[in-house]
Structure 1
Amino acid sequence: MTFPLMRCAPVAAALAALSLVISPPLLANLPGEPVASGKDANGKPLRPPNLEPGEKTPWLYKGSNVPVDKGWTFGELSNGVRYAVRRNGVPPGQVAIRVRIDAGSMMETDPEQGYAHLLEHLTFRGSKYVPDGEAIRIWQRLGASFGSDSNAETTPTHTVYKLDLPAATPAGLDESMKILSGMIREPGLTADAVKAEVPVVMAELRERSGAQVRVGDATRNLFFAGQKLAERSPIGKIETLNAATSEAVRAFHQRWYRPENTVISIAGDVDPATLEQLIKTYYGDWKVAGKQAPYPGFGAPDPKLPIARTIVEPGFPYLISMAILRPWKPVNDTIEYNQQLLIDLVATQLINRRLEGRARGGGSFLQAQVNQEDVSRSVDGTFISVVPIGDDWQAALADVRGVLADALATPPTPEEIAREMAEFDAALAVRVESAATEAGAKQADDIVGAVDIRETIASPQTALDVFRGMKDLYTAERLLESTRRQFTGVTTRAILVSPKPVDNGEALLNAALTRDVSADASARLAAAKVTFDDLPKLGAPGTVAATTDLQLLDIEMIELSNGVKAILYPNDAEVSKIMVKIRFGNGYQAFPADKPSLVWAGQSALVASGIGEIGQEGLDRLTNGRRIGFGFDVENDAFSFSADTRRADLEDQLKLFATKLAAPRWDANPVRRAKAGTELAYRSFSMSPQTVLERDLNYLTRDRDPRWKVPGPEEAAQLTPEAFRATWEPLLQQGPIEVLLFGDFDRAEAIAALEKTFGALPPRQPVPVVAGPSTVRFPAPNSEPVVVRHEGAPDQAAAFIGWPTGGGLEGVQESRQLEILTAIFNSRLFDQLRAQAGASYAPQVVNNWPIAFDQGGYIGVIGQLAPENVAKFFEIANAIAADLAAKPVDADELARATEPLRQLVSRASTGNNFWLNQLQGATRDPRRISALRTILPDYTVTTPEKMQALAAKYLLRDKAWSFVVLPEEAPAPSGR
């Protein structure tokens, strides 16, 4: 039964690039042993309690007493195809289709490694109803963009084909279902197609390889040693892919692409009966000769195999990953089983909160986390990851083991249990409140996920009812038992990743894992009650001084007596959800463009520094069980706080933001932690072309503007608690405040809350003029690309070429027309660089037009590729640019660019995020309101001549600037 999983959020944003994924992408079941046999006390099969007498148990719920989610219509064809369909109008007109085949990389034989994934690629090239390469074009004409609306995934246990069809007309839906059925049943597995697509998969393999993949592979090989998963990455192997033939791939298809292995889930704005009939029409006569192939054994953890390993990766910080492994067993997805899952989740969440508290308080580790998963029907594991601060990984591991030892020795306190239960209750209640506006694509994905992990799905109300009906089961003793069970297994394995060789590393790791540690109860968070009354007091409430109807939907602008302005849009497009955003100050414009600053440190430490006398731990308690958040961002022209909340929490959400501006706290520990995380993360940015792009793209395309430079050790050394406060304290006090409220709220209540919170703030200081230049610019043209080096594999490179455009609101309509031009450019680049040349897996063209600056925009082409293909990249990109400027595009190509944009805007405009993003800043610059009125025609109404004129205006060879990312020893290219 699918429950929302609650995890401690990663606290070191700088380490996002280093997040360890054991075997991406893995879909995993929830943990636990079976607690029911699938039969009742009389030996009869369990049935969902909400079925009527004589009503047949849906295939997904056989052997389960989980109530059926009756929003779905379930069915099974005579040939074995199973399906689930439901009506869903979010967004209006869209239909989300998923076709799951129960075959992934684990079903491959040794010579077939990579075939499941290769077959996924080949199905998009051509099939029974469409010639090679035409499926993508057909869906573009129907408004679906490749990659976001039409895509697929291969994991160790399944392959899933995905189509989100916008504005699904009966004809378009029928055509799409027909094409998908042809792809599944009769893909065009010709020798020419295999020969053309293998280089594309090779490019994907190359682009996704590197230190992170090596660490992931080493971890998977150790953790799952002796099991098939250890050697089965979905991407495959070079030697087996190079040996692929159409006959061999066809044999894999015939063995696994069968009706009984197929599940179709569809959620969309269509009558379910229509969807059922389409499934019957296009899959009902599907027959495959022979019997289902037996599933290969996946194996079980072997306690006799090695348990420790070290790996040296210069770009990585020290990283310890541990796994306590148990054999995976099929379970019956019953209410009782899910109750135990929830207990297990609370038990791990208790530990994670303690580990996070220890890290916040200045511990020896930057981040540590515990997670329990059933991985690819191979192991039931408890996984622990530790990122030490500095080089003393043994001390960090000892500290984490001390926290775990305490959790295994002593039951949690009633206060700890109540705190986690409040969090779970709030999360489940939010799902109930927002169920009516849950996207159809998510619901279709939920069915696929449930089938993959062999469980049922439950409605949000069922999940909440189960949780609230079992609160007496959350005893300290039962949680302690759960913790002990989760940390017991047939073997424990660990891997140490180190930036430099560790003498006798495996022996040291073994010793660190087995030596006695004392239970560390200091990480337990003492009971402390914190309420919103403990926040600093604000001043006297303000009043509304002016109200302006924007003449756009029901959106209005109000001004409070202290000068604070707000844009309000009460609506029920997303039930029980209110988007709140507070914009103030000048963002990047508040910092000079000619010298370093601490702009980068704000996102890491500003929120965590606390409010008044309340630190981050107090803020966590303050918002416990509430839908109250606190995001912070630095934008081009403003700083922003943001959160999603609900009506009952709106006033306190606004109070939290307002008091942060009025009485910020300046804790030193979050700053020290941000500094440590920054120093550790910087090591990773040279690992591959991809990480170099993440580090340098914004910096280089802004002509080395220090505001967008990823901080290195020198910059991190400048970050002290004192310097952080000196930078950010005045910025919180400066500049006009804009409040945006979009969502399900009562207007009068919202205005009253604004008057008591933001209306009670003192008048703001004006933003001082920044010394030195504050604009942004694209680099001057170059004839030879700038060369940046990476420390990764010698067969990896990346290249960028861009042309300057403009910026500012004055030219926003032209910037939208440029989106059409870049969509055309992107399609041609995909066809020529990927589909034909096989040189790059995911090349892309981007249009960057900064609204907040009057210049600095650009059209950029980015590709990751082999060093020997860099010249080809520039040749193709320049040729496309020149051709676009030389002659008009044809009508079909233009339609394939504009229709997906039309549908994108139409879908986005049904949600509040669209309107908020378009109108933010309008209290300062009313031109944003008028610019919004033309947005749909700007993106969709154009001519071939207009596209040619824009290309001729901007895509000028002598205006282009380029850079390449090359391995250390590769020669620099001559020209571009």
Structure 2
Amino acid sequence: MTLHAVMRRIAVLAFAAPLALSAQATKASPKAAPNDSFALTAPLPMDPAVKVGTLPNGIRYYIRKNSKPEKRAELRLVVNAGSILEDDDQRGLAHFVEHMAFNGTKNFAKNDIVTYLEGIGVRFGADLNAYTSFDETVYILPVPTDSGGILDKSFRFLGDVATGVLFDSAEVVAERGVVLSEWRNGLGARARLRDKQFPVIFRGSRYAERLPIGKPEVLEKANSALVRRFWQDWYRPDLMAVVAVGDADPATLEQLIRRTFGGIPRRTNVRPRTLASVPTHDSTLVTIATDKELTTSSVGVLWKRPGKSTRTVGDMREDLISRLYNGMLNQRFQELSLKPDAPFTGAGASSGGFVRGSELNSLDAGAKEGKIVESLQAVLTEAERVQRHGFLASELERARTNTLRAYERGYLERDKTPSGAFVDEYIANYLSGEGAPGIAFEYAAVQKLLPTITLAEVNAVANARGGAANRVVTVTVPDKEGLRVPTEAEIRAVFGAVVASNITPWVETLAEGALVATTPTAGRVVSEKRIAAQNITDWTMSNGVRVLIKPTDFNADQILMSAFSPGGASLVSDKDAFKTSLAPSIIASGGVGIFSAIDLRKKLTGKVASATPSISDLTEGMSGSASPKDLETLMQLTYLRFTAPRADSMVFKATMQQLEQFLKNKDANPNAVFSDTIQQTLANGHPRARSLSLDMLKELELNDLMATYKERFSDAGDFTFFFVGNIDPATFKPLAEQWLGALPAAGRKETPRDVGPKQFTGVIDKAVRKGIAPQSQSIVLIAGSAPWTRDDSYTLSSLGELLQMRLLERLRESLGGTYSVSVSANFSRRMRQEWQVAIQYGSAPEKADTMFAAVREELEKLRTTPATAAELERVKEQQRREFEVSQKQNGYWMNTLRTRVEYGDPLETIGDYITLINGLTVEKLSAASKKFLVESNRARFVLLPETSK
């Protein structure tokens, strides 16, 4: 995809999973609003569940009670000011202000807010965060609501951001390194391409000169006066909103908002907050950019247009028409990408927000190497085909069904929607006036509006998306010897060639017949167990298949499925292991039974169900999901994945070409080379750790892959299936007997082999020199083996969290040498009982050794100096809070059930994690530090630019 495809906010519904409205959904429809509520000129109402108000000083607020997740609230301070408002000597300082808000305010000394919030279970970076964009800055604060004083203190911090940031001179100087590290992290091929393309895309606009990350020469000299000046100019009541959504009393939230922000005086004689524009142009602009580290080619066409918010029912109808158009065109692109002769690996159409006050329509394609001109011609031809001949009625009918079902699902989940989703709606309402009527109104409106949208109206969209005015063509190509870059004249010539070409109408054929042609003979449940405390039902089928069901009410329209059987790629030879791992995705891409992938997608219009096979090192398995009313479809798809896989030679050839395009220039990417080096070094050249290469692709044959797939999935007798979600075991039982009980089984029992690479030993210190950006990445690994216990595994993980806290304090806050540090600590008992601690951070190349020395010092401190009681409590409280939330998520139960069954652990003790948390002590952490943080087996890998010393 082109660069603008990455940066835009795509306003397109997901059409990849076909959906439909049913009689059941109709019964669940919201109470109809008065007919005049859906008049096209009628303004969209504000969702009645949210309270919106404005304080006398101009600060706007949004309050909503929402209990998903329980005992949590999402707080935001929204400042309608971003980098676009920076003066010439402030480029990057809007973002710098954001950093300084966490480095000392009136009520919180340096880092005190981070320490406090970590102590109540809020992780810095993962939960507590902020972002600065061109046009706004948003402070993000998710907090617990079940403990007295937390909300009060949290609002006090947001109030300080508005009025009490200190901008201590020493802290500003210290934070330069952190901000520069964040700037450094963003360097690379994409940044260099952006710097070439933005002056063209934003020609004549301030947006071309005001990237939020700023200029390093400004950041290096940032001082308190410069940073404070931006804050004083733009952090003011008339440019602020407070959003509070969560499991808390709305009256209490409003009281806290009024008390915290109501006393801020309204400003007078303020700088005007103007909107930057994106100037129009009469002719097409073309930007062609190359880079030595770019790995793929791309081409895109965008048409810029003035932005508008969705404020009326008529606006909503126009949005629906646009989404239908994009969705149908994208389905055509998807079909074309599955053909070997397609010049692109993938293509897409989209429309939506670009920057404030500006929108775009676009066509993008990831081009095969040397096929830029052909890819551009292909995407323009499809748009021209629609303009001349229109879409088919069958395409519109499917798109309508998909769209309606998407809204239906949103309505069914209306009481299960996480607070964060509402927050985003209200931020958009404040910043750009985007309507926020709520899903009940939207679903009712869509049911009214969709049937009125005609094929002619959707086809007419094509006429509005064309012409040379405000059009920009972006081309990116790897700078590679022997690869020719098209000229601007060749790019411009494509438009005329497409208009002059003979383009025939689109033709489609639909496979007929039932999804499963012949219903198989059903099996039966031969034994049933109940684990009452966890509400788990455990069946054994007559063919040996085991089925575990965990009903939940966390989501109204979700059932998750997972399945595994022991064996996997470990049972094949080393040279065939990679083929075995690739087989499921390649075979699944061919469809099932008589239905190709394209036909299957169309056949499943109106269904929310998917089943995807996989083969890992030690297991083969199946994963999937479904809406409760489409559970039987999920069962049928699962049955077909086992019994009727479909080899499609055309799709196979297209897939091989796509993989080839990915691999051709992979080694131009410094991070890919770094990753491959780490993998090969740690595995000591083990054949199962080979990185996929072009030579390996030549070994793949479709018939062999199909044979491998069938061998792994021919016997389901030792498979265990898990179902978690809105599922009733009594209703599900006949479906399980019919489809899972009918799976083939021959009594095969397999055990995976220990054939993978061994854990590395000794000390490894390896530098990889690749890339031209002045940036460095470091990975430090500490490893060993020991008997696994649940308590040791948990303590090691907790030790990793403590180490991350300390390294953030040392490397980021004290040294200013990095933007972030991540630490993971895992204890595996899969085949071998081994543990590993991984530390990863970035830095300036010249500081890589200094940073590593600091890491080693912190490791030594942990080995010799026990954690403080405060540190212990921060670790435990974060774990408690995360566990509270995760227990109310289907994914947690699915992962926990499967892991326990795979390892033979008791299901009756699920939930004992809280016992481990409560039992964690300073003494246990100290003992774990001495046991696990030894450096006898240590590997250090450093990625450095080619030109560094």
Common topology (TM > 0.5): yes
**Counterparts in 2 of 1:199-210, with a 5 A limit?**
199-210=177-188
The counterpart of 2:490, out of the listed 508, 512, 515, is: 508
Take 1:230 and 1:604, find their aligned partners in 2: how far apart are those partners?
41
1:766 aligns with 2:759: no
Contact 2:581 2:614 survives alignment (8 Å): no
Partner in structure 1 of residue 28 of structure 2: none
- Deviation of residue 274 (structure 1)? 0.6
The counterpart of 1:351, out of the listed 309, 314, 329, is: 329
Partner in structure 2 of residue 748 of structure 1: 730
Q: Tell me which amino acid in the other structure corresponds to 2:327.
A: Q
Contact 1:229 1:378 survives alignment (8 Å): no
Take 1:351 and 1:806, find their aligned partners in 2: how far apart are those partners?
54
Partner in structure 2 of residue 526 of structure 1: 508
- Deviation of residue 585 (structure 1)? 4.6
Deviations 1:810-862 (A, max 9, x none): 42332111121011100111111112212221221111333533234311111
Deviations 1:750-783 (A, max 9, x none): 1111111111112156366677x4245331122x
- Deviation of residue 938 (structure 1)? 2.2
64-73 or 822-831, larger mean C-alpha shift: 64-73
Partner in structure 2 of residue 258 of structure 1: 236
Partner in structure 2 of residue 382 of structure 1: 361
Partner in structure 1 of residue 941 of structure 2: 963
Take 1:948 and 1:23, find their aligned partners in 2: how far apart are those partners?
49
SS in 2 for 1:435: coil
- Deviation of residue 691 (structure 1)? 4.3
457-466 or 277-286, larger mean C-alpha shift: 457-466
Q: Tell me which amino acid in the other structure corresponds to 2:848.
A: V
Q: Tell me which amino acid in the other structure corresponds to 2:518.
A: K
The counterpart of 2:582, out of the listed 601, 615, 618, is: 601
1:216 aligns with 2:194: yes
Take 2:834 and 2:674, find their aligned partners in 1: how far apart are those partners?
18
Deviations 1:726-750 (A, max 9, x none): 4333122256222111111221111
Take 1:490 and 1:484, find their aligned partners in 2: how far apart are those partners?
13
SS in 1 for 2:382: helix
Partner in structure 2 of residue 904 of structure 1: 882
Take 1:765 and 1:391, find their aligned partners in 2: how far apart are those partners?
52
1:310 aligns with 2:288: yes
Partner in structure 1 of residue 73 of structure 2: 95
Contact 1:382 1:487 survives alignment (8 Å): no
Deviations 1:317-338 (A, max 9, x none): 4533333333424456100111
Deviations 1:149-182 (A, max 9, x none): 1111111111111111135423111111112211
Take 1:381 and 1:862, find their aligned partners in 2: how far apart are those partners?
38
Provide closer, same or farther for how the CA distance between residues 167 and 920 of structure 1 changes in structure 2, counting only shifts above 3 A.
Answer: farther
Partner in structure 2 of residue 4 of structure 1: none
Q: Tell me which amino acid in the other structure corresponds to 2:771.
A: E
- Deviation of residue 24 (structure 1)? 6.8
Q: Tell me which amino acid in the other structure corresponds to 2:329.
A: I
Question: What is the root-mean-square deviation in Å for CA atoms of aligned residues?
Answer: 2.8
1:566 aligns with 2:547: yes
Q: Tell me which amino acid in the other structure corresponds to 1:678.
A: L
Q: Tell me which amino acid in the other structure corresponds to 1:790.
A: K
The counterpart of 2:426, out of the listed 429, 437, 447, is: 447
933-942 or 898-907, larger mean C-alpha shift: 933-942
Take 1:205 and 1:631, find their aligned partners in 2: how far apart are those partners?
39
Q: Tell me which amino acid in the other structure corresponds to 1:786.
A: K
Contact 2:533 2:908 survives alignment (8 Å): no
594-603 or 541-550, larger mean C-alpha shift: 594-603
Query: Structure 2: which 5+ runs fail to align?
Result: 14-31
Take 1:933 and 1:83, find their aligned partners in 2: how far apart are those partners?
39
- Deviation of residue 706 (structure 1)? 4.7
**Counterparts in 2 of 1:702-851, with a 5 A limit?**
705-734=686-715, 736-764=718-746, 766=748, 773-782=754-763, 784-793=764-773, 795-806=774-785, 810-851=788-829
- Deviation of residue 868 (structure 1)? 1.4
Deviations 1:244-291 (A, max 9, x none): 221111111111111111111111111111110110111010125433
SS in 1 for 2:839: strand
Take 1:720 and 1:517, find their aligned partners in 2: how far apart are those partners?
41
Take 1:927 and 1:918, find their aligned partners in 2: how far apart are those partners?
10
Q: Tell me which amino acid in the other structure corresponds to 2:490.
A: L
Partner in structure 2 of residue 424 of structure 1: 403
Contact 1:607 1:630 survives alignment (8 Å): no
1:611 aligns with 2:592: yes
Deviations 1:936-970 (A, max 9, x none): 22245311111111111111122212222222344
Partner in structure 1 of residue 349 of structure 2: 370
Contact 2:569 2:618 survives alignment (8 Å): yes
- Deviation of residue 714 (structure 1)? 2.2
Take 1:698 and 1:934, find their aligned partners in 2: how far apart are those partners?
35
**Counterparts in 2 of 1:880-899, with a 5 A limit?**
880-899=858-877
Provide closer, same or farther for how the CA distance between residues 476 and 524 of structure 1 changes in structure 2, counting only shifts above 3 A.
Answer: same
- With normalisation by structure 2, the TM-score equals 0.92
The counterpart of 1:583, out of the listed 564, 567, 582, is: 564
1:228 aligns with 2:210: no
Partner in structure 1 of residue 412 of structure 2: 433
Provide closer, same or farther for how the CA distance between residues 240 and 608 of structure 1 changes in structure 2, counting only shifts above 3 A.
Answer: same
Deviations 1:470-492 (A, max 9, x none): 13332121111122213346222
Q: Tell me which amino acid in the other structure corresponds to 1:131.
A: A
SS in 2 for 1:515: helix
Provide closer, same or farther for how the CA distance between residues 599 and 428 of structure 1 changes in structure 2, counting only shifts above 3 A.
Answer: same
558-567 or 706-715, larger mean C-alpha shift: 706-715
Contact 2:325 2:461 survives alignment (8 Å): yes
- Deviation of residue 717 (structure 1)? 2.7
Contact 1:799 1:873 survives alignment (8 Å): no
Contact 2:299 2:372 survives alignment (8 Å): no
- Deviation of residue 568 (structure 1)? 0.4
SS in 2 for 1:958: coil
Partner in structure 1 of residue 315 of structure 2: 337
- Deviation of residue 701 (structure 1)? 4.9
- Deviation of residue 527 (structure 1)? 4.7
The counterpart of 1:557, out of the listed 521, 534, 538, is: 538
Contact 1:801 1:961 survives alignment (8 Å): yes
Provide closer, same or farther for how the CA distance between residues 687 and 514 of structure 1 changes in structure 2, counting only shifts above 3 A.
Answer: same
Q: Tell me which amino acid in the other structure corresponds to 1:385.
A: D
- Deviation of residue 659 (structure 1)? 1.1
Partner in structure 2 of residue 283 of structure 1: 261
Partner in structure 1 of residue 25 of structure 2: none
925-934 or 176-185, larger mean C-alpha shift: 925-934
Contact 1:327 1:380 survives alignment (8 Å): yes
Q: Tell me which amino acid in the other structure corresponds to 2:629.
A: A
SS in 1 for 2:942: strand
Contact 1:348 1:371 survives alignment (8 Å): yes
Provide closer, same or farther for how the CA distance between residues 370 and 175 of structure 1 changes in structure 2, counting only shifts above 3 A.
Answer: same
- Deviation of residue 719 (structure 1)? 2.7
Take 2:194 and 2:620, find their aligned partners in 1: how far apart are those partners?
37
The counterpart of 2:529, out of the listed 537, 544, 548, is: 548
Partner in structure 2 of residue 477 of structure 1: 456
- Taking only the aligned residue pairs, the percentage that are identical comes to 21
Partner in structure 1 of residue 224 of structure 2: 246
Provide closer, same or farther for how the CA distance between residues 883 and 300 of structure 1 changes in structure 2, counting only shifts above 3 A.
Answer: closer
Contact 2:134 2:211 survives alignment (8 Å): yes
What is the number of residues matched between the two proteins?
Answer: 922
- Deviation of residue 355 (structure 1)? 0.9
Q: Tell me which amino acid in the other structure corresponds to 1:576.
A: D
